[in-house]
Structure 1
Amino acid sequence: MRLPETQLALLEAASATETKTVAQLAEELGEDPAAVTRAAFELAEEGLLAVEEHVAETVTLTEEGRRYREGGLPELRLRTAAAEAGADGSAVEMGQLIGDAELDGPEVDIALSNFARKGYGEIDGGAVTLADDPTYDPDADPEAEALEAVANDEAGYLDSGVLDRLESRGLLERTETTVRSVTLTDEGVTALMEGVEAAETVGAITPELLTSGEWTDVEFAEYNVEADAETTYGGKEHILRRTANRVKDVLVGMGFREMEGPHADADFWINDCLFMPQDHPARTHWDRFAMDVPPMEDLPEDLVERVEDAHRNGVGPDGDGYHSPWDEGFARAVALRGHTTSLSMRYLSGHAVGDLEPPQRYFSVQKVYRNDTLDPTHLLEFFQIEGWVMAEELSVRDLMGTFTEFYEQFGITDLEFKPHYNPYTEPSFELFGKHPETGELIEIGNSGIFREEVLSPLGVECDVMAWGLALERLLMLMYGFEDIRDVHGTLCDLDLLRNVEVVY
């Protein structure tokens, strides 16, 4: 019998009485594990080897787990500090113990919650008292011992409940791998006893083999096209980016030009120019992400004065301002933009590209940031499709027609419009589309005609219709996604992103 060199070496290294893993054999033979695996399956097809598979779990410490293994779990450090401060006899102020235990930042909450869970003591009124009979023995804390065992590759002896707890705390990672083991069959033993020779095989025809004529004498390697292969994922454009680029193409085709601008901007551009009162709830820290940086000094002073006057006194003889506080310091404060209308204000005012004469069409597809509660339709950051048209005698019908033309490019024709209130547009309305899977109406955008209080300080003397549409909501209508967290963010569904089909 003649076998390729790798198969022969594997057959000779395998044992009929001792099971060996592919990894062990690959190291022993100095071969690539993939090549040894392929050879094992080929020998198994010939009946010379038996291949068995089982799933093995690998447990490793995370960076935080390694830090706690070396420096001690936060709750144990707090317990040690409490014991040294005499908390077993009388209550000790928590602030003192936190300092003594060198707990910082998130470690404080981690220490307090696990201190109570393990029954190490009581925390009452900002003071700590140690328990006489704790649930866990602090000198033999099972979680601390588990960290040490994992570090020493002894996780197989640990209780799964302890591992589950450490995994939930983010202190270790568990991964499953398929382990393949081989043993010689009786046929394999017989073949070795009768004698097996190495066959020189060639994996591909080369120019040298052709010109020399040796290709007629060599033995070509056989390839099992049905053998298991490792799954590899090539890079691809994210579906959100792909859709954003398509939105840009559609809007450019409709005669729009793209706007660009900063993600962090003065509240003046983000809200004040929009005639949003400074005491509006959306401008508090509950809804915006303020930044601890110096205020923005580069603001056009004359525009600041006109915007402040509009807020205080309104615009025109019949105008009426908000009669609420207006602080220039607040206007200059920097925050992450909650909408890309800050770009519209920069362009309409002439601050970005100089004075604009009607008609004009501009858009942007960029990220915005809001302190929202996470749910299937809300994220802390998402993409907004901003757009506006400057022209004479615009009407709501023009705005609705623009949306109809835009969404038809994506196969969405069942739009619904609902009157709405915005401080900066009048009239205003929200857009809704029907979800293709649930049939539920999904809000997909907000729009309207800019008020005179917005346009007059900017120096714009004609109508401007504007909108802000959610790119992620467009994806929901196009692909039937029910949760935008599947598409991007820390909880995104990688399998979905790899396999989703492109919709045109």
Structure 2
Amino acid sequence: MSTRLPDAQVAVLETASATDALTIDELADATGRKPETVTGAVFDLRDAGLVAIEEQEESTASLTDEGETYREAALPEVRLYEAARDAGAADDPAPMGQVIGASGLEGPEVDIALSNYARKGYGDIGGGEITAAADADPESDAEAAALDAVAAGDAESVDGDTLDQLESRGLVAISERTVRSVTLTDDGVTLLMEGVEAAQTVDRLTPELLTSGEWRDVEFTEYNVEADADEASGGKVHILRQTADRVKDTLVGMGFEEMEGPHADADFWINDCLFMPQDHPARTHWDRFALDVPPIHDLPEDLVDRVEDAHRNGVGDDGDGYHSPWSEEFARAVALRGHTTSLSMRYLSGEAVGDLEPPQRYFSVEKVYRNDTLDPTHLLEFFQIEGWVMAEDLSVRDLMGTFEEFYRQFGITDVQFKPHYNPYTEPSFELFGRHPETGELIEIGNSGMFRPEVLEPLGIDCDVMAWGLALERLLMLMYGFEDIRDVHGTLCDLELLRETEVLY
């Protein structure tokens, strides 16, 4: 007597071979069934001992839109080298601005070219000048050749290190999948020889079967109590949001109040109040997301006048200002905030909650936007931990002590400080923490004492210490993540997010 099995299982048994392994896709094509239907049948047959499954991880490389662009137009560093060589930089150093202009590079492409130029041995960059190595050969650029190979579907021929480099630059996307191959077992062959036929079975009792009476005549699929149940992954709060909430709890516990305000704001609040010159590189289209919307007219006119005067003439008897252009039209233009210090300016000026009398402590944990090059520690949008303290007789020691106390709450005790320059704070310093896995020091924040050119136009006559810390960098120090894109953004590792427990 023939053994009766569900139709899909019979089709797989009759198509599979005991000697030649067939993939799920091949079985699906041969049987005319959907891959997911074949997969279910294969797993049922494996549980019955009729087929064997071999699993293999397979990687596929494809060009991103940016990679395709550079494949057609040449890599930015190659274009920079060719422009430098044409400018005679192989003999004598050429002016950087002249070569960049001749290369046709714009926006982030300039930074990309500069960061890869010396790495590839195309020449040296320094002091506003560039040289071109006479023996460099852009025609044999390994990364350019790899882009062509990936586009042609021949990623296997590319050196692994080169492929990793292209992936880190965002020019190649690597996708992985599990390929399952199926072969008949001895029991499967024996069953086929004895005879097998398809059974018209149903897997559930429906109202239609009950009302029609057909349930008496159909054959129900056998219920396998040993089969693995479908995995159900419930929703949960993202680990970044959980860490942000913990940061808020910590700062509130340290006596701070929370600030809030717009993501898109006038450049006046974002930069001008910070004594950032309007011709500063960070305020160009290279680093700033400007919005094509009407300017903001609702600004306190007296404060605008005081800020403009500080930019033009400085503050105090020894103040000198910037001697650079200052446009009220630019100040009123709208952009996505590059830092949450725009909130600090709104609160310190009294615009947000009225005039404040010292002592005061405020913070925010909010998203900011910068036109950065994506890498393991940089994103186009990220969360900044903004904070400031207004009080009499504050010093850098107070600021450093605040950081040590804050990071101690997260188990981080090795915080290091490095002097730094900011247009809006003096003295200033950057903060660094040691990565628990790599042992490297990574920058985790920037801080300092607000300068008189910032405070006097705001009407503040006491000290204010302030900082901007990176929430994502804190996450890296807490959990040992080496690439922030694993937990934030479109390439994040969902399984990692499901399994990682919040540290308290």
Q: Could you tell me the TM-score, scaled by structure 2's length?
A: 0.63
Q: Is the 8 A contact 1:202 1:221 kept in 2?
A: no
* AA partner of residue 191 (structure 2): G
The alignment-based identity, stated in percent, is: 67
Q: Is the 8 A contact 1:360 1:391 kept in 2?
A: yes
Residue deviations 1:21-47, cap 9 Å, x none? 88699999xx97676455423432xxx
Are the structure 2 counterparts of residues 294 and 411 from structure 1 closer, same or farther at C-alpha, using a change threshold of 3 Å? same
Work out the CA distance in 2 between the residues paired with 1:420 and 1:289: 25
Residue deviations 1:220-259, cap 9 Å, x none? 955225x5x6666443332222211211111111121211
Please report how far the alpha carbon of residue 179 of structure 1 lies from its aligned counterpart in structure 2 after TM superposition. 5.9
Work out the CA distance in 2 between the residues paired with 1:460 and 1:180: 75
Residue in structure 1 matched with residue 46 of structure 2 by the alignment: 41
Are the structure 2 counterparts of residues 426 and 198 from structure 1 closer, same or farther at C-alpha, using a change threshold of 3 Å? closer
Q: Is the 8 A contact 1:56 1:179 kept in 2?
A: no
Please report how far the alpha carbon of residue 493 of structure 1 lies from its aligned counterpart in structure 2 after TM superposition. 4.0
Are the structure 2 counterparts of residues 58 and 182 from structure 1 closer, same or farther at C-alpha, using a change threshold of 3 Å? farther
1:345 matches 2:345: yes
Are the structure 2 counterparts of residues 237 and 26 from structure 1 closer, same or farther at C-alpha, using a change threshold of 3 Å? farther
Alignment of 1:90-169 (within 5 A): 162-163=152-153
* AA partner of residue 289 (structure 2): F
Please report how far the alpha carbon of residue 274 of structure 1 lies from its aligned counterpart in structure 2 after TM superposition. 0.8
1:355 matches 2:355: yes
Work out the CA distance in 2 between the residues paired with 1:493 and 1:200: 38
Work out the CA distance in 1 between the residues paired with 2:367 and 2:15: 63
Are the structure 2 counterparts of residues 269 and 246 from structure 1 closer, same or farther at C-alpha, using a change threshold of 3 Å? same
Residue in structure 2 matched with residue 137 of structure 1 by the alignment: none
Residue in structure 2 matched with residue 188 of structure 1 by the alignment: 191
* AA partner of residue 188 (structure 1): L
Work out the CA distance in 1 between the residues paired with 2:266 and 2:244: 26
Residue deviations 1:157-181, cap 9 Å, x none? xx9985458xx9999x996653657
Are the structure 2 counterparts of residues 232 and 11 from structure 1 closer, same or farther at C-alpha, using a change threshold of 3 Å? closer
Please report how far the alpha carbon of residue 490 of structure 1 lies from its aligned counterpart in structure 2 after TM superposition. 4.2
Work out the CA distance in 2 between the residues paired with 1:202 and 1:336: 55
Q: Is the 8 A contact 1:264 1:335 kept in 2?
A: yes
Please report how far the alpha carbon of residue 408 of structure 1 lies from its aligned counterpart in structure 2 after TM superposition. 0.3
* AA partner of residue 267 (structure 1): D
Alignment of 1:426-437 (within 5 A): 426-437=426-437
Residue in structure 2 matched with residue 319 of structure 1 by the alignment: 319
1:266 matches 2:266: yes
Alignment of 1:213-252 (within 5 A): 221-224=223-226, 233-252=233-252
* AA partner of residue 326 (structure 2): W
Residue deviations 1:243-302, cap 9 Å, x none? 112111111111212111122211110111011122222222232222222221111111
Partner of 2:358: helix, strand, or coil? coil
* AA partner of residue 454 (structure 1): V
Alignment of 1:59-78 (within 5 A): none
Residue in structure 2 matched with residue 369 of structure 1 by the alignment: 369
Work out the CA distance in 1 between the residues paired with 2:254 and 2:403: 11
Are the structure 2 counterparts of residues 42 and 391 from structure 1 closer, same or farther at C-alpha, using a change threshold of 3 Å? same
Q: Is 281-290 or 267-276 further displaced after alignment?
A: 281-290
Residue deviations 1:362-415, cap 9 Å, x none? 111112222233333323222111001122222222211111110001111111
* AA partner of residue 503 (structure 2): V
Please report how far the alpha carbon of residue 202 of structure 1 lies from its aligned counterpart in structure 2 after TM superposition. 11
Larger radius of gyration: 1
Residue in structure 1 matched with residue 78 of structure 2 by the alignment: none
Residue in structure 1 matched with residue 139 of structure 2 by the alignment: none
* AA partner of residue 371 (structure 1): N
Q: Is the 8 A contact 1:279 1:324 kept in 2?
A: yes
Please report how far the alpha carbon of residue 317 of structure 1 lies from its aligned counterpart in structure 2 after TM superposition. 3.8
Please report how far the alpha carbon of residue 418 of structure 1 lies from its aligned counterpart in structure 2 after TM superposition. 2.2
RMSD of aligned alpha carbons: 4.8
Are the structure 2 counterparts of residues 274 and 41 from structure 1 closer, same or farther at C-alpha, using a change threshold of 3 Å? same
Work out the CA distance in 2 between the residues paired with 1:181 and 1:470: 52
Residue deviations 1:12-68, cap 9 Å, x none? 77766876988699999xx97676455423432xxxx34556779999x99x9xxxx
* AA partner of residue 486 (structure 2): D
1:253 matches 2:253: yes
Work out the CA distance in 2 between the residues paired with 1:350 and 1:391: 16
1:178 matches 2:183: no
Alignment of 1:441-480 (within 5 A): 441-480=441-480
Partner of 2:453: helix, strand, or coil? helix
Q: Is the 8 A contact 2:9 2:42 kept in 1?
A: no
Are the structure 2 counterparts of residues 327 and 482 from structure 1 closer, same or farther at C-alpha, using a change threshold of 3 Å? same
Residue deviations 1:190-237, cap 9 Å, x none? 8769x9x9999999xxxxxxxxxxxxxxxx955225x5x666644333
Are the structure 2 counterparts of residues 43 and 432 from structure 1 closer, same or farther at C-alpha, using a change threshold of 3 Å? closer
Q: How many pairs were matched up?
A: 392
Work out the CA distance in 2 between the residues paired with 1:338 and 1:383: 11
